[in-house]
Chain A
């Protein structure tokens, strides 16, 4: 078990290194490529015609070194970058089959701008990949096709083709659209895919372990070795730890896996602490709100420092109070209570002072609130809509409710992407429980997992 853990940690640390250390940045080349007409002012933002979204051409990158690894990396970067940019729907794209008709450039010096302009491209991404001692040097340039000026460009070093593309996509969204992209964010979820049997029970019960994946479902990796039931994972705001509910002590407790260090913390350890579940990180990552039966009676809400100190009780009644989520400011907590006889969503002040305010008023059953990041101020939740459940969103200022899923299978456990433009959730629409992502307007449904049952996604900040 330790060997496996170490291996996981090694993988995780490598990932953290790449993520925590942005590739060394070099100055974009001082000399823009030759142009026929020199503009007086360099435009750094690509615009579309007449207010339409800018139309981009994203051909495969150019392999300067011709070995297979370089060629594969060049192709992967171009394709993943396309998908990453397409995910936010800020650009339109020249279709791939049309791109195939344009002669491929071999360097920055023979880019067929005329052809791209004929295809009504506003912007063009050209990149080169060159093998170095321990990886690749990648040069990416975004051109304004009309002016043939570079609007943005950067050189990257590293070895992970997908991470090159994700980084470029986030930077292009930031510089071109003032948008925080989520191409480098990750999903975590619980899965029974390993089919390992739970120990200590006579019934056939399978373990569930915590997994992570890139936002697009790639690189799915297991991060716990609990050999028990591990559920409801939540990313810490810094993306370096995952808090979750684990039954490894028998009754459920809140554990924290520091996935890039391979260490485990037990936030709710102690004698007579009852059952503890559904951890939710405060936005500053210092505290965790969770449900607990430690004082007897039904589940109540508590806040604790991540090291297990400074326990504070937030609710104190005979009803169930559970499934917390923090507001982005950290001042409020939305949660679920069945004080009216059915689970409904309420909001209280994070210090527990004041009466809870009911939020869900038109549902027979509502659970798993997830408070959106700014600029939106919405709470998504699971609502019973028939035999199954669907994902809904309530706008907090207006209390207008909209629905994102419509009775295909059952749909549960929504979580927001860091920019509030997407959600991930669990759905049984394809058979087993699987993780899907969907845009905030209900479009662009995408299945993330396919193996085993997967549940309770959480999207990193």
Chain B
């Protein structure tokens, strides 16, 4: 056996020398190293739940000051913004429209509110015509809210002309505050 092994080894050696002479070495690409394995990316699949789903506790109750306020408190510090007008005018300025956009959002959120829109005027106009002008202002604000999808039957109008100025002064600063559509929540 020993002699047999020696013989095989010599033959292999000779064969290897002979091959080297006849066959040029061929460059072989080295196989890519195995992809590194990351145990974390391959969690074991979770077991099928066997218990009932856990009950998720409700969202904690947020204190909604607006929803919980009394009508008087609500109107004393109203979240509905007044809308201001130019002298003798019932046109809604871009500022007025912005205020009404906010009011509309609020009125959609609190969908049970009924609102009276009061029209007011400054003292420069006459008492009599101001009744009609105040109404025009209230109606302009109402029409805009209705166009934004606030139901018309939740919006009443009343004109006070110049009978109830918000600022009793006699200058433009007072006048500009007194030319307004003013929102009063009457039911919620």
Is there contact, CB below 8 Å, between A275 and B164? no
Is the CB–CB distance between B135 and A413 below 8 Å?
Answer: no
- Residue-by-residue, is B113-134 near A (CB-CB < 8 Å gives 1, otherwise 0)? 0000000000111111101110
A229 to B165 CA separation, bound complex (whole angstroms): 13
Closest to B71 in A: A202
* Beta-carbon contact of A322 and B163 below 8 Å: no
Given A367-B126, A367-B128, A413-B128: A229 in contact with B135 (beta carbons within 8 A):
no
Given contacts A202-B76, A250-B158, contact A275 B135 (CB under 8 A): yes
How far, in whole Å, are A410 and B157 apart by their CA atoms in the complex? 29
> Residue among B123, B128, B133, B156 with the most chain A CB within 10 A?
B128
Q: How far is the CA of A387 from the CA of B172 in the complex (A)?
A: 11
> Considering only CB atoms, which chain A residue lies closest to B163 in the complex?
A229
Query: Would you call A343 an interface residue if the criterion is a C-beta within 8 Å of the partner chain's C-beta atoms?
Result: yes
Is A435 interfacial (CB 8 A cutoff)? Answer: no
Please indicate the chain A residues that have their CB under 8 angstroms from the CB of B123 in the complex.
Answer: 410
Q: Report the bound CA distance from A193 to B139 in whole Å.
A: 32
Contacts of A229 in B (CB 8 A): 160, 163-164
Is the pair A412, B126 in contact by a Cβ cutoff of 8 Å? yes
A320 contacts which chain B residues (CB < 8 A)?
Answer: 129, 132-133, 136
Known: A203-B164, A250-B158, A293-B135. A278 touches B72 (CB 8 A): no
Q: Which single residue of chain A is at the shortest CB-CB distance from B133?
A: A320
Q: How far is the CB of B173 from chain A (nearest CB, A)?
A: 14
Known pairs A250-B158, A368-B126, A388-B124; A322 contacts B131 (CB<8 A): yes
**Binary per-residue interface labels of chain A (290-302) against chain B in the complex, 1 for a CB within 8 Å, 0 otherwise:** 0101000111000
Question: Which residue of chain A is the closest to B170 with respect to CB atoms?
Answer: A428
Chain A neighbourhood of B124, CB < 8 A: 384, 387-388, 410
Residue A211 lies at the interface, judged by CB distance under 8 Å to chain B: no
User: Which residues of chain A (31-55) have a CB below 8 Å from chain B?
Assistant: none
Taking a contact as CB atoms under 8 Å apart, the answer to whether B166 and A322 are in contact is no
In the complex, the answer to whether A202 meets B72 with C-beta atoms within 8 Å is: yes
Interface positions, chain B 133-171, Cβ under 8 Å from A, are: 133, 135-136, 139, 156-160, 163-164, 166
Pick the contact of B163: A208, A297, A298, A323 (CB < 8 A).
Answer: A208
Contact A367 B75 (CB under 8 A): no
Q: Which residues of B contact A309 (CB under 8 A)?
A: none
Given contacts A202-B76, A342-B88, contact A456 B131 (CB under 8 A): no
Is A336 positioned at the interface, with any CB of B under 8 Å from its CB? yes
Evaluate contact between A367 and B135: CB separation under 8 angstroms: no
User: Nearest-CB distance from B134 to chain A (Å)?
Assistant: 10
Which of B128, B156, B166 contacts A368 (CB under 8 A)?
A: B128
A277 within 8 A of B: yes
A299 touches B131 (CB 8 A): yes
Taking CB atoms, residues of chain A closer than 8 Å to B166 are: 203
- Determine which of B72, B76, B129, B158 lies in contact with A252 in the assembled complex, contact meaning CB atoms within 8 Å: B158
Chain B min CB distance to A442 (Å): 20
**CB atoms of B163 and A231 under 8 A apart:** yes
Residues of B within 8 A of A368 (CB): 126-129
Instruction: State which residues 171-203 of A face B: CB under 8 Å.
Output: 201-203
Q: A208-B163, A229-B160 are in contact. Are A202 and B75 (CB under 8 A)?
A: yes
Query: For the complex, what is the distance from the CA of A456 to the CA of B135, rounded to whole Å?
Result: 19
Question: Is the beta-carbon distance between A251 and B158 smaller than 8 angstroms?
Answer: yes
Q: How far is the CA of A4 from the CA of B125 in the complex (A)?
A: 35
Chain B residues, Cβ within 8 Å of A388 = 124
Q: A367, B131: Cβ atoms under 8 Å?
A: no
Q: How far is the CB of B91 from chain A (nearest CB, A)?
A: 12
Contact: B139 with A275, CB < 8 Å? Answer: no
**Contact (Cβ within 8 A) A291 B132:** yes
- Given A203-B164, A293-B135, A320-B133: A278 and B159 within 8 A (CB)? no
A201: chain B residues at CB < 8 Å are 184
Closest chain-B Cβ to A196's Cβ sits at a distance in Å of: 14
Q: What A residues does B139 contact at CB under 8 A?
A: 297-298
- Is A461 interfacial (CB 8 A cutoff)? no
Which A residues are in CB contact (< 8 Å) with B127?
Answer: 231-232, 368, 412-413, 426, 455-456
Is the beta-carbon distance between B76 and A298 smaller than 8 angstroms? Answer: no
Question: How far is A456 from B129 in the complex, measured between Cα atoms in Å?
Answer: 12
The reply on A389 being an interface residue by CB < 8 A is yes
Is A157 an interface position by the 8 A CB rule? Answer: no
Contact of A434 with B by CB under 8 A: no
* Contact partners of B76 in chain A: CB under 8 A: 202
- Assess whether A323 is in contact with B135, with CB atoms less than 8 Å apart: no
| Interface status of A382 (Cβ within 8 A of chain B) | yes
- Which chain B residue lies CB-closest to A205? B164
| Complex CA–CA separation, A338 to B135 (angstroms) | 14
Decide if A278 touches B128 in the complex (CB within 8 Å): yes
B129 contact set on A, CB distance < 8 A: 320, 322-323, 336, 338, 343, 367-368
- Contact in complex: A278, B126 (CB < 8 Å): no
Q: How far is A160 from B183 in the complex, measured between Cα atoms in Å?
A: 51
Nearest A residue to B134 via CB reads A275
**Interface residues as binary, A402-442 with B (CB distance below 8 Å gives 1, 0 otherwise):** 00000000101100000000000010000000000000000
Q: Report yes or no: B126 in contact with A389, Cβ–Cβ below 8 A.
A: yes
Given contacts A293-B135, A299-B131, A322-B129, 16 further A-B contacts (CB under 8 A): A201-B184, A202-B72, A229-B160, A250-B158, A275-B159, A278-B128, A320-B133, A322-B132, A336-B128, A338-B129, A365-B125, A367-B125, A367-B126, A382-B126, A413-B126, A455-B127
| Partner-B contacts on A (CB < 8 A) | 201-203, 205, 208, 229, 231-232, 245, 247, 250-252, 275, 277-278, 291, 293, 297-299, 320, 322-323, 336, 338, 342-343, 365, 367-368, 382, 384, 387-389, 410, 412-413, 426, 455-456
Q: List 9 interface pairs A-B (beta carbons < 8 Å), by A numbering.
A: A247-B158, A247-B160, A320-B133, A320-B136, A322-B129, A323-B128, A336-B128, A367-B128, A382-B126
